[in-house]
């Protein structure tokens, strides 16, 4: 969702360097890749490293091993990375060791939880980057506290919201978007009459006791409100391995395969509430004004709590159910759109990159 906004903005800058799109293949599920690339309008990558799965160490090392020859061949003037996944830090580390400037989109976000692999990726990438593009004001405070020079930091806004604003008019109503997958749910997917669930964080799905506790809570929520649950491949594997998938068979929970961005956007837009452990969905629900219940102990996106519709709960069943009940009874947490979440973040980034690397090579 980030690159879908940044890439065309960079390519529209006449005085900027030409862009080469590299897909590491870290997110390797073909159904998810095809749906997202097609719907987001992302062109086929110029290079696909096809890394696939592995432990954090294996995956990071393999990305570096396969990305280095691309850099040797192309001699880029800079490497732009987005987000906080293994690909982000692997490509940043490869680039900086070869003396190539790193540009980081979505810099400065912190959960202050070093048990999260993403937190380590964020910390390291920001230390390596020459230009750091932030989504919220608090991110700059984090970076300054970590010794990042202020001239390297640029508050540009949130490119995730660029993509959301561009594609929201195309998002189908859930009943239309999911007609093929859920014909039995016709009439149950009217706006405000269902909730949405996503789970994929290791802290939630890799520990059987935590996963079972969350599923029991979701079953209880589904007695009050039907739930749509697009199941991440990682989560589905854990449900099957622990034998928990069958627990959901007779509940008012619709298990779905991975769905496209547009279908998901339509579901979020029309939901009564959302339960999630995704960082991006915390931002999207804030932009859409939909109450979000985050099933984590912390968030690296505090602006969604301070200004948006997000409430961070953790995995405690009583706390989750209490916030669900409050939301259903009184409408849930209201919020406002944060500063510079205006659909123009990618253009600001592109202008800064073009000014820094005008006339450069790839």
Catalytic positions are 200
- Eight-state DSSP code of residue 23: E
**Rounded-to-integer distance, Cα 246 and Cα 160, Å:** 35
- Closest by CA to 106, choosing from 50, 162, 178, is 162
Distance between CA 138 and CA 336 in Å, rounded?
16
Our measurement of the distance from residue 57's CA atom to the centroid of its chain's CA atoms, rounded to an integer in Å, reads 22
For residue 340, which phi and psi values (nearest 5 degrees)?
65, 15
In three-state secondary structure terms, 139 is helix
How is 26-87 classified by DSSP, letter by letter? SS--HHHHHHHHHHHTPPPPSEE-------HHHHHHHHHHHHHHHHHHH--S-EEEESSSHH
Q: Is 291 helix (H, G, I), strand (E, B) or coil?
A: coil
Q: What are phi and psi of 14, to 5 degrees?
A: -65, -30
CA 219 to chain centre: 25
Tell the residue number behind the tokens 């629900």, with chain if given.
285
Question: Taking a C-beta distance cutoff of 8 angstroms, is the pair 232, 202 a contact?
Answer: no
227-230, strands of its sheet edge to edge = 253-256, 227-230, 195-198, 273-276, 292-294, 310-312
Residues 6+ apart with CB under 8 A from 342: 157, 161
Backbone torsion region of residue 25, taken as left when φ is above 0, otherwise alpha when ψ lies between -120 and 50, otherwise beta: left
């Amino acid at each position: 969702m980030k690159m879908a906004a940044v890439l065309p903005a960079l390519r529209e800058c006449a005085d900027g360097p030409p862009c080469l799109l590299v897909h590491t293949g870290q997110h390797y599920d073909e159904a998810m890749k095809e749906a997202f690339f097609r719907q987001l309008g992302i062109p086929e990558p110029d290079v696909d490293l096809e890394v696939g799965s592995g432990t954090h160490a294996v995956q990071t090392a393999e990305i570096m091993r396969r990305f280095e020859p691309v850099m040797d061949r192309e001699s880029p003037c800079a490497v732009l990375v987005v987000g906080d996944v293994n690909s982000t830090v692997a490509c940043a580390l490869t680039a900086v060791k070869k003396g190539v400037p790193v540009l980081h989109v979505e810099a400065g976000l912190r959960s202050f939880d070093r048990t999260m692999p993403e937190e380590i990726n964020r910390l390291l990438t920001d230390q390596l980057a020459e230009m750091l593009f932030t989504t919220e004001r608090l991110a700059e405070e984090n970076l300054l506290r970590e010794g990042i020079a202020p001239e390297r930091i640029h508050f540009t806004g949130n490119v995730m919201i660029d993509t959301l604003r561009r594609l929201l008019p195309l998002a189908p109503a859930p009943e239309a978007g999911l007609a093929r997958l859920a014909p039995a749910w016709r009439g149950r997917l009217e706006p405000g009459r269902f909730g949405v669930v996503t789970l994929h964080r290791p802290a939630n799905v890799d520990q059987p006791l935590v996963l079972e506790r969350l599923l029991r809570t979701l079953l209880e929520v589904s007695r009050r409100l039907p739930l749509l649950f697009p199941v991440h491949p990682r989560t589905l594997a854990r449900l099957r391995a622990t034998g928990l998938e069958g627990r959901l068979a007779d509940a008012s929970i619709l298990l779905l395969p991975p769905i496209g961005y547009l279908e998901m956007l339509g579901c979020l837009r029309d939901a009564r509430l959302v339960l999630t452990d995704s960082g991006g969905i915390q931002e999207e629900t804030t932009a859409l004004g939909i109450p979000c219940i985050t099933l984590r102990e912390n968030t690296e996106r505090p602006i969604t709590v301070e200004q948006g519709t997000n409430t961070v709960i953790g995995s405690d069943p009583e706390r989750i159910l209490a916030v669900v009940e409050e939301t259903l009874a009184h409408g849930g947490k209201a919020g406002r759109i944060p500063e510079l979440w205006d659909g123009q973040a990618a253009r600001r980034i592109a202008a800064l990159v073009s000014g820094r690397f005008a006339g450069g090579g790839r």
